[in-house]
Amino acid sequence: MTSLQSPSSSFLHLALPSAILSLCFLSQWRISSPAIILSLKNHHRSHSYSSAPLFESNGSTCQLFTGTWVRDDSYPMYQYSDCPFIEPEFNCQLYGRPDSGYLRYRWKPQNCDLPRFNGREFLEKMKGKSVMFVGDSLGKDQWESLICLLVSSVPSASTQMTRGLPLSTFKILDYGLTVSFYKAPYLVDIDAVQGKKVLKLDDLTNNAAMWKAMDVLSFNTGHWWAHQGSEQGWDLIESGGTYYQDMDRLVAMERALRTWANWADSIADRSRTQLFFLAISPTHYNPSDWSAGPTAVTTKNCYGETAPISGMMYPGAYPQQMRVLDEVLRGMKSPPYLLDITLLSALRKDCHPSVYSGELNPDQRATPDRSADCSHWCVPGLPDTWNQLLYAAMFY
């Protein structure tokens, strides 16, 4: 097997099998050479990727995920005041965003028109069924958007919201529809071992027990694999019965995605459950990705952006995490439908909460260069288009 270089100059390597760890956990740490015995990172580097993913989620002449944003004053499909379920981190209009033009754009795919989301049709076709979003806060972004699209179409319907960790559930009682969000940023399990949070790249048994019996499952992962230090969700990584304090994050992500793919290919009840995967949602922290030159850069991130990027080309560097996801999906026996929102989202530098988030205090709002959120998306906003695409994939 090929030795792989860690992204850091050195790291702690716990070369202990799982069964031994519980007996001699903390006392057995030792410094190892900066190599991980996995065979994935060089595999990535042996491929030459274009700016578009190799995996295609649909083979029709309508290229749903390639197109342009066009102004359409019939949008948005609802107002934030119509939806009391938007959390502060996504509720840009409530928290002072002064412009609303970013809400008045429609995604126009090549060679076709995207069906407008019809909440009543969705509810009728999904009566008595269940939808679950599984992943990180971008999945939560999409979950809240779908709730708003539905409740705004049947404003008098009886509803019930139960928020919790890791599971939050929304029900439209009149239709017997359940729409849930299950927080699992890495998809695979994180277990507590001797007071340490262990990310188990080869196991998702605990998480998957919460996914079974769903009629529609939409997964996402990506951003949390890059978190470092106190922001990461684990203390140690377990892979192949060996524990690591760190490893190349793309390697770790691919190993976890292959664990998920094996579950989806062999365990998921595909006769009942529709599977979707939300592609990597891009960020907009670097204005050089979309500006015409140094004189056009007026801010250090997405703050102050009020219009999409024109054209159909991907701005900036294509996300490395998307290359990993592409590789795993192409190797599956029965891959999920890929909601390939990466390009169309990359063009929407104007749709992030920026400083218009209820998560920020006044001092943070006054310092957008340091505090702007250019990762998540406003609701209403771009996630509504993600759900339009989901709707089209489910029913058309």
Which pTM does this prediction carry? 0.86
Catalogue the E-assigned strands of 122-266.
130-135, 159-162, 167-172, 177-183, 190-193, 196-200, 216-219, 236-239, 242-244
According to the model, what pLDDT value does residue 394 have?
94
According to the model, what pLDDT value does residue 17 have?
46
According to the model, what pLDDT value does residue 267 have?
85
Verify whether residue 48 is a known catalytic residue. no
- Residue 233, helix vs strand vs coil: coil
Cα of first residue to Cα of last residue in the chain, in angstroms, is: 46
User: Of 6, 137, 345, 354, which residue is the catalytic one?
Assistant: 137
How far does CA 389 lie from the centroid of its chain?
15
- Residue 342, helix vs strand vs coil: helix
According to the model, what pLDDT value does residue 15 have?
44
User: Rounded to whole angstroms, how far apart are CA atoms 281 and 155?
Assistant: 30
Verify whether residue 266 is a known catalytic residue. no
Say what the alpha-carbon torsion angle 294, 295, 300, 305 is, to the nearest 10 degrees: -120
User: Of 13, 223, 284, 376, which residue is the catalytic one?
Assistant: 376
CA-to-CA dists, residue 285 to 7, 46, 145, 174, 369, angstroms: 22, 29, 23, 43, 9
CA-to-CA dists, residue 138 to 45, 104, 110, 113, angstroms: 27, 21, 26, 25
CA-to-CA dists, residue 195 to 242, 245, 378, angstroms: 17, 14, 37
How far does CA 33 lie from the centroid of its chain?
34
Verify whether residue 81 is a known catalytic residue. no
User: Of 141, 340, 373, 384, which residue is the catalytic one?
Assistant: 373
Q: Note the residue count of the chain.
A: 396
According to the model, what pLDDT value does residue 298 have?
62
How far does CA 228 lie from the centroid of its chain?
18
Enumerate residue ranges in the chain where pLDDT < 70: 1-60, 292-298
